[in-house]
């Protein structure tokens, strides 16, 4: 197991208080935050590195140079407000707040732990201005905050970071319309346009096309910049603050995984044969050591160039054994995280059995069509996507649209199988699901991440309300298989033995133990 080290706050103070060029200092600090983010995610066993790294330079600029938030305090009504709508980049945001002394060392090392830092932004953690996890809400929330500031005659601006893939979610376009209509000019949206979604390029999932023309047509003041160039960031923010009568959008062209060569696209996409491997999860020991070494060497070279001593690193205290894998589960666990468990999970996944059963059933049921919301890998439908590409429909991050399309498919005699995380699919698309049920259309809804486990990503990804939402539907059967064998039986029942709407609740992680079904079980 690798020895983890942390760059302490004192080192950030040393760099910040030096007489070196401002932009050079910020570049060093951004890489120092990347190094601590890498340690943070490695310790957690899961998390989002690619998105944290692409947004890092912008976040560092906002807190170190732009906003008054730390000066006036998080409780001041006149503070500048920044929050991430995309949410995946929160490990990087935590690292920046830690570098400024707002999050202590032990809390930074508590990412995705009980009573620690949440896997997605949550206002229960210091410095978080809004909850995230479910995408597409940030611009609307930001508009509300900015409107309230004007109404209350409070100072400060509102800055919202969105992802590029997040812009597939329909609520964004409602927000773009209304914000421009009401001329909310103390709101600036920053798009982290890193060109990659979960594990594929945005253009392959759902192409956003020309964002400048799109946002301009909605009535926003649009600026496009290099999101890794501090001078460009500085100039763009200054321009945005001068705009009157229009909200502003800064499209920041960034690189997912910026800072570690093998995590950056397009290199990472080439290594992954078209799939980006660093969206979620923690690196194995070899990748961690290679990435950390690359960052530390570049940081020390930068320090030497401005006549500062090399970094002083502090060791991270090893973590105690964890009683249950459910404490650590989030995205797929690293081997190091698995090694720390005193109770080992099995290699059985009900979600994997679901994906296999889907491929097998589709061989004889030509009417099966699978719909996905940018979660093909997580929902274990990638094999179906590769085996039956003409019957796989990628909808991007747009659950409501996906369900209504499924209703149209069902009305034409096809059998749609709709996939997303339970917390997003059941609640966000509930009206569309209810409408389709009223048409007596048979649709199978695969509700992944159902239940409280895994807890690592936070409450935004934990789903219990799906049970009550689907229970309220007419002619709906809810199934939750306990094993791979029962999953295959449930899929056969759902496809071949009922006309009901089916809600199939699936745990995404490995089974904690194997369950053998009794003889003759049906």
Q: Which residues make Cβ contacts (< 8 Å) with residue 150, sequence separation at least 6?
A: 184, 186
Strand partners, 447: 420, 505
Domains and CATH numbers, the chain: 5-303 (3.40.50.970), 350-506 (3.40.50.970)
Rounded distance between C-alpha atoms, residue 36 and residue 104, angstroms: 12
Rounded distance between C-alpha atoms, residue 161 and residue 142, angstroms: 10
What pLDDT, on the 0 to 100 scale, is given for residue 327? 41
What pLDDT, on the 0 to 100 scale, is given for residue 340? 47
Whether the predicted model's global pTM rises above the 0.75 cut = yes
Rounded distance between C-alpha atoms, residue 133 and residue 321, angstroms: 28
Nearest to 367 by CA among 412, 408, 433: 412
What pLDDT, on the 0 to 100 scale, is given for residue 335? 45
Strand boundaries in 319-409, DSSP class E: 368-372, 392-394
3 state DSSP class of 28? helix
Rounded distance between C-alpha atoms, residue 347 and residue 513, angstroms: 9
Rounded distance between C-alpha atoms, residue 417 and residue 403, angstroms: 10
| Burial category of 371 from C-beta neighbours within 10 Å (exposed 0-12, middle 13-18, buried 19 and up) | buried
| Burial category of 151 from C-beta neighbours within 10 Å (exposed 0-12, middle 13-18, buried 19 and up) | exposed
Rounded distance between C-alpha atoms, residue 324 and residue 361, angstroms: 35
Rounded distance between C-alpha atoms, residue 233 and residue 66, angstroms: 10
What pLDDT, on the 0 to 100 scale, is given for residue 345? 61
Strand boundaries in 236-334, DSSP class E: 248-253, 314-315
324-345 as b/e: b if 16+ CB within 10 A: ebbbbbbbbbbebbeebbeeeb
What pLDDT, on the 0 to 100 scale, is given for residue 321? 58
Q: Nearest 5°: phi and psi at 251?
A: -90, 110
DSSP characters for 131-158?
--SSSS-HHHHHHHHHHHHHHTT----E
Q: How far is CA 486 from CA 51, 351, 498, 501, 522, in A?
A: 37, 11, 16, 19, 9
Strand partners, 501: 476
Residues of the chain with pLDDT under 70: 321-345
DSSP characters for 421-444?
EHHHHHHHTHHHHHHHHHTT---E
Q: What is the largest CA-CA distance in the chain?
A: 77
Rounded distance between C-alpha atoms, residue 358 and residue 369, angstroms: 10
| Terminal-to-terminal C-alpha distance of the chain | 45
Rounded distance between C-alpha atoms, residue 443 and residue 429, angstroms: 14
Give CA 260 to chain center in angstroms. Answer: 19
């Amino acid at each position: 197991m690798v020895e983890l080290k942390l760059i302490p706050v004192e080192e950030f103070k040393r760099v910040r208080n030096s007489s070196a060029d401002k932009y050079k200092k910020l570049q060093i600090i951004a890489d120092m935050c990347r190094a601590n983010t890498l340690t943070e995610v490695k310790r957690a066993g899961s998390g989002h590195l690619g998105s944290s790294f692409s947004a890092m330079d912008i976040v560092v600029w906002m807190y170190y140079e732009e906003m008054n938030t730390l000066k006036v305090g998080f409780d001041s009504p006149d503070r500048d407000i920044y929050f991430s709508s995309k949410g995946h980049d929160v490990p990087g945001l935590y690292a920046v707040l830690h570098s400024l002394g707002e999050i202590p060392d032990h809390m930074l090392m508590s990412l995705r732990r009980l009573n620690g830092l949440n896997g997605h932004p949550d206002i229960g953690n210091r410095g978080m201005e809004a909850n995230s996890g479910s995408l597409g809400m940030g611009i609307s929330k930001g508009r509300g905050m900015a409107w309230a500031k004007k109404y209350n005659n409070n100072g400060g601006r509102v800055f919202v970071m969105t992802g590029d893939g997040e812009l597939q979610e329909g609520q964004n376009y409602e927000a773009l319309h209304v914000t421009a209509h009401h001329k909310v000019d103390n709101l600036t949206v920053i798009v982290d346009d890193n060109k990659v979604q979960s594990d594929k390029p945005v253009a392959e999932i759902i192409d956003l096309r020309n964002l400048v023309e799109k946002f301009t047509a909605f009535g926003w003041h649009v600026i496009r910049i290099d999101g890794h160039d501090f001078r460009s960031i500085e100039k763009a923010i200054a321009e945005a603050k001068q705009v009157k009568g229009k909200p502003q959008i800064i499209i920041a062209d960034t690189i997912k995984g910026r800072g570690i060569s093998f995590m950056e696209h397009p290199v990472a996409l080439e290594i992954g044969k078209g799939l980006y491997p660093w969206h979620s999860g923690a690196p194995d020991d070899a990748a961690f050591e290679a990435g950390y070494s690359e960052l530390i060497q570049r940081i020390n070279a930068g320090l030497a160039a401005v006549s500062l001593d090399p970094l002083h690193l502090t060791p991270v205290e090893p973590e105690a054994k964890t009683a249950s894998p459910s404490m650590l589960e989030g995205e797929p666990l690293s081997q190091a995280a698995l090694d720390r468990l005193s109770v080992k999970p099995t290699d059985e996944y009900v979600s994997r059995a679901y994906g296999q059963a889907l491929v097998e059933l589709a061989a004889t049921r030509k009417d099966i069509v699978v719909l996905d919301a940018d979660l093909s890998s997580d929902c274990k439908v990638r094999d179906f996507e590769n085996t039956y590409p003409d019957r796989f429909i990628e909808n991007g991050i747009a659950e409501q649209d996906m369900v209504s399309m499924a209703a149209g498919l069902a009305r034409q005699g096809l059998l749609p199988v709709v996939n997303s995380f339970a917390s997003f699919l059941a609640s966000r698309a509930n009206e569309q699901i209810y409408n389709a049920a009223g048409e007596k259309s048979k649709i199978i809804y695969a509700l992944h991440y159902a239940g409280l486990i895994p807890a690592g990503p936070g409450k935004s990804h934990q789903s219990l309300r799906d049970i009550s939402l689907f229970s309220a539907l007419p002619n709906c059967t809810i199934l939750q298989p306990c094993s791979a064998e029962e999953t295959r039986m449930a899929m056969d029942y759902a496809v071949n033995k009922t006309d009901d709407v089916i809600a199939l609740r699936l745990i995404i992680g490995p089974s904690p133990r194997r369950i053998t079904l009794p003889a003759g079980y049906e």
